[in-house]
Structure 1
């Protein structure tokens, strides 16, 4: 799969998750949904590189000398950003669920 395919697949998946969310909230998080799909695609690409090169380069004659690869550094940064974005999106989804539960509590 290409990076573009992964992006489209993830974007489609996330849009489906948010299709039942109130339209104003859905529009509010539209950019975050796109960012999440982008980060997923970027990490897919970086992970392929890391599988070949590893995340750390070790000096051939002195194994105590190690250096993190640029792909490894970027992958970790992207993972952190992706998890923050997903956590934020999940909060929007859960807020809608909690509000629905509160409305039902009034009828008990």
Structure 2
């Protein structure tokens, strides 16, 4: 599949609230339910030469804690093997500062 840079799209807030509530209910209390990356970090990933998109991988670190990895992809949808991989996001919990309506 050719990547155009326009993959993905918006959903309505009511669906997003329902979906995040579904996840929290299934995952259980105290489980990570979101990860936050800063805009400068994401921009650094997107600004790499040849980057046309981002894949988001679910992962478990060496301690068994849930992580998400952001990986740059080229126009053919291939991971950019020499590209930046992002981790080290702020996860909630434990860092749940600045909650919003998707956290309810």
Indicate whether the TM-score tops 0.5: no
Q: Over alpha carbons, which structure has the higher Rg? A: 1
TM-score, normalised by the number of residues in structure 2: 0.25
The answer to which structure has the higher strand fraction is 2
The answer to which structure has the higher helix fraction is 1
Higher relative contact order (CA 8 A, sep 6+): 2
